[in-house]
Structure 1
Amino acid sequence: MDHDRIEELIGELEKTEAALYEELSKGAQKIRCDFAEEKIPLLRYIAEAKIGYVLTAPVIYAMIVPALIMDLFVSLYQAICFPVYGIPKARREEYIVFDRHRLKYLNILQKLNCLYCAYFNGLVAYVREIASRTEQFWCPIRHARRVRNVHRRYWNFLRYGDGKDLRERWHRLREDLKEEEKR
């Protein structure tokens, strides 16, 4: 394993992501108007909805209960355990972002749906970040087989089956994690 090459590739990924965000923000600065034809009135929006959408809405909205419970427990876990481990805390506001409700061309139900999706997807990202920091601290070893959509820390983990200098390299990964807050 060429650790320097992996670091180089991770750096390229981070630069590409930063360039993507920069390019997308340029587009957002150019468009400063509501380009929707018109706001669809709430009653028309509901009346025109497919019956399956209406019937499954309670199932979707019921997921807020386990999401709130997960949010509470993961936040408590991080608040209690991370200081003990010396792991920098993930800042919730960097993951859970509410802003789409300000779009004037959305009706109240569309805004509610946007709030729900922003919360749920942001929560998943927040939980994933906390889990990835925990994994780097306690078990920074890659899996034997390919895993889809791994978190950004994964590529720095130890290769599966490579136990050489395990204690030293594991310690170094823990120190890298603790140093993140200073960067």
Structure 2
Amino acid sequence: MDVLPKVPPALIAEVKPDLFPMYPVKQDAPLISDEDRRAHRKARTPLWRYLLHARPLAVLTAPIIYLCFVAFLFLDAVITLYQAICFPVYGVPKVRRADYLIFDRGALVYLNVLERLNCIYCSYANGLIAYVMEVVGRTEQHWCPLKHARKAAAQHSRYSHFLPYGDAAEYRKKLDTVRDDFGDLRS
């Protein structure tokens, strides 16, 4: 299987310091000092000024963007129900939705109410798509754990466990093993 070695966090921090938050997190909430909160409040753009300087086309397209929210809610309900019913039958570990939907930007007081709403929307939409991708990835591992002939732009976390494209003998030989290979998730 194509498994890369784990990179030590200290090395990642040295190479890409922006991967780590500016503020420590305790019980899923960022710890922001009172001094930083005061500075953040001063940096907030009042809603009236934000709207006054908004591009007209951005304002006109906003309802279209927010219309997608209805579809996201429906997708969220269906995929959550799907895995709740089907994954126990297949013996596939459930995906923890809370690991994907993160709403911590509301603590940023330099955002006005509309910017916060936009951040909630984007956090929900991107988190939901990542959650759905993981649910579908685990489903794919159970039903069709085959790599594609060409590289996809994005791959879910289970893809590295899949069998090579076009190797019929290995597919038949290892299908049941790969189908049940969720040991890394059960620890």
Question: Do both share a fold (TM > 0.5)?
Answer: yes
The CA deviation string for residues 22-63 of structure 1, in whole angstroms up to 9 with x for no partner, is 954364349852565521111110111011110100000000
Q: Letter of the 2:166 partner, please give it.
A: G
8 Å Cα contact 2:93-2:186 kept in structure 1: no
Residue 28, structure 1, aligned to residue 33, structure 2: no
Of 112, 135, 144, the residue aligned with 1:139 is 144
SS at match of 1:62: helix
Q: Give the gaps of 5 or more residues in structure 2.
A: 25-30
What is residue 27 of structure 2 aligned with on the other side? none
Q: Which 10-residue stretch deviates more, 19-28 or 157-166?
A: 19-28
Deviation at 1:174, TM superposition (A): 1.9
From the superposition, tell whether residues 20 and 70 of structure 1 become closer, same or farther in structure 2 (CA, over 3 Å): farther
8 Å Cα contact 1:88-1:180 kept in structure 2: no
Deviation at 1:176, TM superposition (A): 1.2
Q: TM-score, normalised by structure 2?
A: 0.83
What is residue 109 of structure 2 aligned with on the other side? 104
Of 124, 130, 133, the residue aligned with 2:129 is 124
What is residue 182 of structure 1 aligned with on the other side? 186
Paired residue total: 174
Of 161, 173, 178, the residue aligned with 1:173 is 178
Where is the helix percentage greater, Structure 1 or Structure 2?
1
From the superposition, tell whether residues 75 and 18 of structure 1 become closer, same or farther in structure 2 (CA, over 3 Å): farther
SS at match of 2:181: helix
SS at match of 1:137: helix
Of 155, 159, 167, the residue aligned with 1:154 is 159
Deviation at 1:18, TM superposition (A): 8.7
What is residue 81 of structure 1 aligned with on the other side? 86
The CA deviation string for residues 77-98 of structure 1, in whole angstroms up to 9 with x for no partner, is 0001000001010000000011
Residues of 1 paired with 2:21 and 2:71: CA distance? 37
8 Å Cα contact 1:40-1:106 kept in structure 2: yes
Residues of 1 paired with 2:153 and 2:9: CA distance? 18
Q: Which 10-residue stretch deviates more, 86-95 or 97-106?
A: 97-106
8 Å Cα contact 1:141-1:158 kept in structure 2: yes
Q: TM-score, normalised by structure 1?
A: 0.85
